[in-house]
């Protein structure tokens, strides 16, 4: 039987997608895997079905609230989900994120400093 | 650098990519790895965001040493989370110098009653701040900013006048401004230098600035050479 071969045009995006890491290895318990990546202070992404099983405060993590969802592969069930929650290690939060509260406080501080005459 | 959001107001897309080296620190821009590099991404440089992948969201160091990357057989693979949205907006602290100290302010030495010039002690012509931004930290113009339209030696000129300035007023200037592409980073790749001539360095365009004091002013950037865009 004849087989038609269609040449694929791989874009950079396709290559990157194909090379994306798969996350939890087969047979590995999700809890242990997440405990490992939490110990490494890495960003944790969990789908709606897995997120309630994770207690961020217990491991000094902070749930991102300004962007309550992200598109990612769930670290628990290794499934891509566009409604994942993401958690950032608390001490590292300000390295990659700022909250509107922090920016509002900065703006208030700016106004006060201008009133005092020195920015 | 901090992730501030996306132009499209969409949610962040976080991908886990393989590292090519030790010592990655959250908050730096990652690039597609070079040919024959061990992993899928490498760090940006102080002057290049070419083929950017996005912002590194993971911690790669624990107490100063790398905890993940290894080329030893049997070791776990080093994988880091990266925010990959091509339209992401980054927020970076503005600093002076390669190591990133507070912005160096200057002081008015010759008053200008028409408010069209700021004459200080340091050169604004080399490195050239023409088309950059100038803002006052004290005096009658405190908090006000203007675009620099020409420079000559220690004099920065604006077209839209400030109020009259006075000897002793302090001000800051930066080689960044809205719509200008090119920023130079500190050696830790986390902050943007203000003491470099405009439009010099890594391909990122300024979309906004938070002009505060010498240690809490920020610039908002978008990556111009992101690998997920159609043209890089």
pLDDT tens profile B39-62: 999 999 999 999 999 999 987 655
Assigned domain for B57 exists: yes
What mean pLDDT value characterizes chain B?
93
pLDDT over 70 (residue B230)? no
Mean pLDDT in residue range B205-219: 97
Residue A93's domain comprises: 21-116
Kindly determine whether residue A96 and residue B27, on different chains, have CB atoms separated by under 8 Å: yes
**Closest C-alpha to A17, from A26, A25, A8, A28:** A8
Domain assignment present for B83: yes
pLDDT grade for A18, boundaries at 50, 70 and 90: low
B166 found inside a domain: no
Average pLDDT over residues B65-90: 85
- The answer to whether the Cβ–Cβ distance between B32 and A67 falls below 8 Å is no
Q: B79 and A21 in contact by Cβ < 8 A?
A: yes
Q: What is the mean pLDDT of residues A32-55?
A: 91
CA angle A106, B183, B98 (to 5 degrees): 80
Q: Is A63 on the interface with B (CB under 8 A)?
A: no
Rounded Cα distance between B156 and B198, Å, is 14
* Predicted confidence band of residue B2 (pLDDT cuts 50, 70, 90): very high
Number of helices (H), then strands (E), belonging to chain A: the values are 5, 4
Q: How far is CA A45 from CA A103, B67, B219, in A?
A: 25, 20, 28
Q: What is the dihedral of CA B223, B20, B1, B103, to 10 degrees?
A: -100
- Eight-class DSSP state of B33: P
Residue among B25, B58, B107, B134 with most chain A CBs within 10 A, to mutate: B58
Chain A hits for B67, Cβ within 8 Å:
40
Cβ neighbours of residue B161 under 8 Å, at least 6 residues apart?
B114, B115, B116
**pLDDT value, residue A6:** 67
> CA–CA separation, A46 vs A69, rounded Å?
10
pLDDT > 90: percent of chain B: 81
| B229 close contact with A: CB closer than 8 A | no
| A65 close to A106: Cβ distance less than 8 angstroms | no
- State yes or no: pLDDT of B231 exceeds 90: no
Counted domains in chain B: 1
CA A31 to chain centre: 17
Instruction: Give the mean pLDDT of B134-152.
Output: 97
* Rounded CA separation B15/B1 (Å): 18
Domain that includes residue B44, residue range: 2-91
**Residue A104 is assigned to a structural domain of this protein:** yes
Gap between the Cα atoms of B169 and B107, Å rounded: 6
Q: Which residues contact A104 (CB under 8 A, 6 or more apart)?
A: none
Any domain includes A10: no
With 0.80 as the threshold, say if the pTM is over it.
yes
DSSP state of A59: G
Structural domain includes residue A15: no
Beta strands B155-157 and B117-119 are antiparallel
Chain A hits for B40, CB-CB cut-off 8 Å, are 16, 19
This model of the complex carries an ipTM of: 0.85
Q: Is position A48 within any domain?
A: yes
In a domain, B134, yes or no: no
Would you state the pLDDT for residue B78? 84
Tally the domains of chain A: 1
Q: Summarize chain B as % helix, strand, coil (round to 5).
A: 0, 40, 60
Give yes or no for B2 touching A (CB within 8 A): yes
pLDDT of residue B221 exceeding 70 = yes
Identify each DSSP E strand in B41-166 by its residue range.
41-43, 52-56, 61-62, 65-66, 79-83, 88-95, 106-107, 117-119, 133-136, 145-147, 150-152, 155-157
Give the rounded distance of the alpha carbon of B99 from its chain centre: 13
B34: left (phi over 0), alpha (psi -120 to 50) or beta: beta
Work out the pLDDT band at B118, boundaries 50, 70, 90.
very high
């Amino acid at each position: 039987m004849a087989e038609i071969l269609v040449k694929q045009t791989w874009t950079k995006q396709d290559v990157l997608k194909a090379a994306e890491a798969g996350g939890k290895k087969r047979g590995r318990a999700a809890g242990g895997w997440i405990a490992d990546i939490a110990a490494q202070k890495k960003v944790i992404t969990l789908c709606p079905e897995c997120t309630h099983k994770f207690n961020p405060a217990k491991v000094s993590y902070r749930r991102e609230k300004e962007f309550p969802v992200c598109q990612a592969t769930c670290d628990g069930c290794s499934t891509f989900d566009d409604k994942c929650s993401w958690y950032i290690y608390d001490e590292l939060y300000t390295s990659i994120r700022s909250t509107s509260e922090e920016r509002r406080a900065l703006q208030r501080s700016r106004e006060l400093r201008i009133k005092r005459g020195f920015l | 650098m901090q992730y501030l959001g996306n132009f499209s107001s969409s949610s962040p897309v976080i991908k886990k990519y393989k590292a090519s080296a030790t010592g990655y620190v959250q908050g730096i821009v990652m690039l597609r790895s070079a040919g024959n590099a061990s992993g899928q991404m490498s760090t940006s440089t102080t002057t290049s965001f070419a083929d950017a992948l996005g912002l590194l969201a993971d911690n790669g160091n624990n107490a100063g040493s790398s905890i993940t990357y290894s080329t030893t057989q049997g070791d776990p693979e080093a994988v880091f989370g990266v925010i990959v949205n091509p339209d992401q907006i980054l927020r970076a602290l503005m600093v002076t110098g390669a190591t990133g100290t507070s912005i160096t302010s200057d002081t008015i030495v010759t008053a200008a009653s028409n408010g069209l010039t700021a004459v200080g002690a340091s050169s604004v012509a080399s490195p050239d701040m023409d088309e950059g931004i100038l803002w006052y930290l004290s005096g009658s113009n405190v908090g006000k900013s203007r675009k620099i339209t020409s420079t000559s030696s220690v004099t920065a000129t604006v077209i839209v006048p400030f109020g009259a300035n006075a000897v002793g007023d302090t001000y800051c200037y930066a080689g960044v401004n809205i719509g200008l592409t090119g920023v130079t980073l500190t050696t830790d790749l986390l902050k943007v230098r203000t003491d470099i001539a405009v439009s010099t360095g890594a391909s990122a365009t300024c979309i906004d600035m938070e002009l505060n004091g010498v240690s809490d002013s920020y610039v908002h950037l978008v990556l111009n050479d992101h690998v997920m865009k159609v043209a890089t």
